[in-house]
């Protein structure tokens, strides 16, 4: 917050994440509500987290969490509570994409939590909806019909630029008392920079505030949604002349001898580079980004080599297992045949022994008589 204040920036903070409920990560709510099995952690990809939004215990505990956060005093900001820090906090969201990728369990959960946040805020901090997973779900009545939301945030990755901007403009006109923003959007692929430019132009034409996912170092080029300052996508985002970034080409034949060494080198140098960028000029940051991109390519190439080797070993292992299975099956068949033969012999012996026993008994009876 101190850094944001110095740079004239304000934060929009999601106070929880729907995907921590046993989807992309696992928090204590997910385990205590049995959304996932006890003792689970990390990625579980469990879609149904409905109990979090309907269970009275969970709701009370979550509101305690909101109260704790908003009443926390930031010692670096003069001991002020978060609820008072409108100089650096623009808005808060009860949750990122509430009830996303699941059947809606409660149509009022988000609005109820927004009202509770309003009761805690003692400054001009606004409350945002947190977005849905598409434009249409983000603009649902759960968000647009809630008076406690100052901001309707739209999240979408698949709709065209014109259609998305048009939908947000229509929502602005329909709900004049609310801010309607594009709170999360992104693009990947060979035409990444071109499509980003189309979205930026469409948003600007409609006067739509927007936040791109994700500006981070290192960027991902055409391969993914992340963008850094040395890429064409960054230039498209910032209204500069741009060209699309080439799709990455990874050749196993050119892999580095040791992927672990390359990855360690990349990690340490990337951390050092990030520290330098904080105090450097934009030009220095661009140079660091180019260097880091090369290191990343080296580590990725090495990793591909090891994947290829692993695939080879897996194929060889499969062949060995098949061979061993065949040999074992042959031994089992042989043993079964031997067992069958032994059983027949035993039956023969059993029949003969029974006859002999009967003869002895008869003889003894005759002697006694």
pLDDT attached to residue 247: 72
C-alpha 66/C-alpha 58 separation (Å) is 12
What order do you get walking across the sheet with 210-212 strand by strand? Answer: 151-155, 179-185, 210-212
Lowest mean per-residue pLDDT among 29-38, 124-133, 262-271, 311-320: 262-271
Secondary structure of residue 89 in the 3-state scheme: strand
Residue in the block written with tokens 């779900």: 137
Q: pLDDT-derived band of residue 337, with 50, 70 and 90 as boundaries? A: low
Beta strand 151-155 pairing with 179-185: parallel
CA distances from 59 to 32, 41, 200 (A): 13, 22, 38
**What letter would DSSP give residue 107?**
S
> Comparing 58 with 364, which gets the higher pLDDT?
58
Maximum distance among all alpha carbons in the chain?
Answer: 125
Q: pLDDT-derived band of residue 106, with 50, 70 and 90 as boundaries? A: very high
User: Is 12:66 a contact under the CB 8 Å cutoff?
Assistant: no
**Tokens representing 252?**
């196993």
**Tokens representing 75?**
């010692």
User: What are the residue boundaries of the structural domains of the chain, listed by start?
Assistant: 2-253, 254-342
pLDDT at 255 over 90: no
C-alpha 15/C-alpha 13 separation (Å) is 6
C-alpha 205/C-alpha 232 separation (Å) is 22
> Which residues, including other chains, have CB under 8 Å from residue 113's CB and lie 6 or more apart?
62, 63, 66, 94, 95
pLDDT attached to residue 342: 47
C-alpha 303/C-alpha 301 separation (Å) is 5
Return the CA Rg of the chain. Answer: 34
pLDDT at 312 over 80: no
Q: pLDDT-derived band of residue 249, with 50, 70 and 90 as boundaries? A: low
**Tokens representing 169?**
């403009």
User: Is 98:137 a contact under the CB 8 Å cutoff?
Assistant: no
- Provide the H-helix boundaries in 34-160: 50-54, 56-70, 109-120, 135-138, 141-144
How far the first Cα of the chain sits from its last, in Å, is: 115
Q: What average pLDDT is seen over the chain?
A: 80
> Comparing 367 with 75, which gets the higher pLDDT?
75
pLDDT attached to residue 160: 94
pLDDT at 274 over 70: no
The CATH number that domain 2-253 falls under is: 3.20.20.80
C-alpha 26/C-alpha 56 separation (Å) is 20
Q: pLDDT-derived band of residue 159, with 50, 70 and 90 as boundaries? A: confident
**What letter would DSSP give residue 208?**
-
* Helices and strands, number each (H, E), in the chain: 12, 8
* Angle at 126 (CA atoms; ends 120, 127), nearest 5 degrees: 75
C-alpha 96/C-alpha 93 separation (Å) is 7
> Which residues, including other chains, have CB under 8 Å from residue 128's CB and lie 6 or more apart?
12, 91, 92, 93, 149, 150, 151, 152, 153, 181, 183
> Which residues, including other chains, have CB under 8 Å from residue 180's CB and lie 6 or more apart?
151, 152, 154, 168, 171, 172, 208
Mean pLDDT over 211-220 rounds to: 93
> Which residues, including other chains, have CB under 8 Å from residue 69's CB and lie 6 or more apart?
15, 82
Q: pLDDT-derived band of residue 258, with 50, 70 and 90 as boundaries? A: very low
pTM, full prediction: 0.68
pLDDT attached to residue 99: 98
CA distances from 170 to 7, 32, 212, 216 (A): 33, 42, 21, 32
């Amino acid at each position: 917050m101190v850094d944001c204040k110095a740079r004239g920036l304000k934060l929009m903070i999601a106070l929880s994440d729907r995907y921590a409920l046993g989807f992309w990560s696992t928090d204590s709510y997910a385990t205590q509500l049995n959304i996932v099995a006890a003792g689970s952690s990390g990625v579980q990809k469990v879609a149904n987290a409905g109990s979090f939004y309907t269970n009275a215990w969970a709701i009370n505990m979550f509101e305690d969490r909101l109260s704790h956060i908003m009443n926390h005093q930031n010692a670096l900001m003069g001991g002020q509570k978060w609820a008072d820090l409108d100089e650096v906090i623009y808005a808060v969201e009860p949750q990122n994409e509430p009830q996303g990728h699941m059947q809606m369990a409660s149509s009022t959960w988000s609005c109820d939590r927004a009202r509770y946040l309003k009761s805690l805020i003692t400054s001009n901090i606004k409350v945002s909806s947190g977005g849905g997973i598409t434009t249409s779900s983000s603009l649902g009545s759960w968000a647009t019909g809630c008076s406690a939301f100052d901001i309707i945030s739209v999240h979408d990755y698949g709709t065209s630029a014109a259609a998305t901007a048009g939908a947000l403009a229509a929502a602005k006109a329909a709900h004049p008392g609310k801010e309607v923003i594009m709170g999360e959007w992104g693009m990947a692929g060979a035409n990444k920079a071109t499509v980003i430019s189309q979205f930026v132009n469409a948003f600007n034409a409609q006067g739509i505030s927007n936040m791109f996912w994700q500006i981070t170092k290192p960027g991902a080029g055409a391969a993914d949604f992340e963008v850094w300052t040395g890429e064409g996508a960054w230039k498209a985002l910032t209204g500069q002349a741009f060209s699309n970034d080439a799709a990455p080409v990874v050749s196993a034949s050119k892999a580095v001898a040791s992927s672990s060494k390359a990855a360690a080198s990349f990690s340490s140098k990337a951390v050092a580079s990030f520290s330098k960028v904080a105090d450097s000029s934009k030009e220095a940051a661009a140079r660091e980004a180019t260097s880091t991109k090369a290191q990343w390519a080296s580590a990725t190439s090495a990793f591909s080599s090891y994947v290829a080797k692993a695939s080879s070993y897996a194929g060889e292992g499969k062949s060995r297992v098949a061979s061993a299975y065949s040999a074992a099956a042959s031994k089992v068949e042989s043993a079964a045949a031997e067992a069958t033969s032994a059983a027949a012999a035993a039956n023969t012996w059993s029949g003969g022994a029974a006859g002999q026993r009967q003869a002895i008994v008869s003889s003894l009876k005759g002697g006694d008589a």
